[in-house]
Structure 1
């Protein structure tokens, strides 16, 4: 077995012009499951990669933010890339840039100084010097993004298309499935809420009342009724149609809330089914029964 990261484990360096969106891009990588570090000295790159060698990491890859605020950045960068290349490790570079006008507007909003500004050099001159210094990295970058007119959703889509795993549709998006009881209140963070109180209620069946939607007799009573079977098929078909559209739009998280009266029977049964279906479809999905012990 190779001691180096597999092809599915990427080492990505995010760099570019200050104010062009490097920190925002790193946030997108973090949402995609990358281990992210900002401001890493270039000389430390091989050492950090070495920490992941031969390990079964839960992360999809490393995403590292680097810029000219580091002393001797370009010399250290060249040495680090050559050292990793000698070990068979390819560093993928994402370079973000924007027009002078766009960056100057952003600096006017944040009121932070540019790293190359000084008493003798104003912002516009600092931007020109930075662009010239980073020209070699831009030339070698796998992807150059001009973020002048980008929204966060535009940036997310571009990064997901190039650096997100392709094995499963929507894998870069997380789906959180919740069951809840309306008598205790719907979850405020839910993006989609479904009221399941039209389904047959096991609470009124004495032998089923002590059980929950996790138990097969309850799930069968709720979902194998005539109404349950029809709704189940249409509901799952709707989810598998809708979620890829959210993922394509650059969404990184969707909270799905399924509610019944007490949050113990009907909502739990469908939440368990939705979780299993989405997991099998390749989504990163979590499950929460919010009012299970109260219902």
Structure 2
């Protein structure tokens, strides 16, 4: 982590994984507080600095459970900045369909709609959190992640950073359009124009990570030209993202099912960018799907 990275603010939609995220930071030596009223953040920062054992790694969950207190969050964050404390905001998101399913499985009521339909609470919460999401440094879509996968991603993104990197983490995600766009994508590239290995009986059971599928896809000139143009665009944009203070870039590569073309292209793009010295994290969201 960065040397001036003192506070992690964990927020996002109810049911998207905030409690699990906080537990991951706690397991990695952070002092953690769940549901701290926002107006107490500056006071808590003072207490941290005055304590005999100075706390330098703090994670706080701040969300709409605070009711009216939540409205003071931006004022409190401004006070934190004025006091010279650095912080990063992690926003956990998920699709409405997944959130509804999680609530039904847990049989819990939504905090903003205890006597109404779950979807009404989700919609209201999205509106209330819209500005905070826009201010967030990291947005993680947990729709397709198991608890173990979310834990792994948090540890990889925030707890195992290479101190020599530029500060910009590039996340390359392959996906299938039939499963929906990744919610946290900054750039989306559609590779459905490429010849589809799905229609080859020998290649259909394989994935884009298999050498035979990769060779098939990159045997076409349009694949090579496309990859070069995408690489050039990303490398052109990176200095400007860094200049604007962006901490992560999510590049999504999509095909029909997310199993063949998108994986092959994502893997090759990740390899090329790693060779150029960029810090890369790669995820194949829909690799278990059957149509490429």
One of 133, 140, 145 as aligned partner of 1:145: 140
1:89 corresponds in structure 2 to 85
1:113 corresponds in structure 2 to 109
Distance 1:18 1:97 in 2: 9
TM-score computed with the length of structure 2 as normaliser: 0.52
Give 1:58 deviation, angstroms: 7.1
**1:167–1:100 distance in 2 versus 1, CA, 3 Å:** closer
Matched position secondary structure for 1:70 = helix
1:178 corresponds in structure 2 to none
Distance 1:58 1:52 in 2: 6
Contact 1:33/1:60, CA 8 A, preserved across alignment: no
1:14 corresponds in structure 2 to 10
Matched position secondary structure for 1:33 = coil
Distance 1:148 1:56 in 2: 41
Distance 1:72 1:91 in 2: 23
Structure 1 unaligned residues grouped into runs of 5+: 1-5, 169-247, 249-295
1:52 corresponds in structure 2 to 48
Residue by residue over 1:67-117, the C-alpha shift from the partner in whole angstroms, topping out at 9 and shown as x without a partner, is 111122442101101111111212211000111111111111111111011
Aligned residue pair count: 165
Distance 1:75 1:68 in 2: 9
Matched position secondary structure for 1:53 = helix
Distance 2:43 2:157 in 1: 25
Contact 1:67/1:73, CA 8 A, preserved across alignment: no
One of 113, 117, 120 as aligned partner of 1:122: 117
Give 1:133 deviation, angstroms: 0.8
2:58 corresponds in structure 1 to 62
User: Are 1:77 and 2:73 counterparts?
Assistant: yes
Distance 2:156 2:7 in 1: 16
1:260 corresponds in structure 2 to none
Structure 2 unaligned residues grouped into runs of 5+: 164-280, 282-292
Matched position secondary structure for 1:72 = helix
Give 1:142 deviation, angstroms: 0.7
Residue by residue over 1:163-189, the C-alpha shift from the partner in whole angstroms, topping out at 9 and shown as x without a partner, is 215479xxxxxxxxxxxxxxxxxxxxx
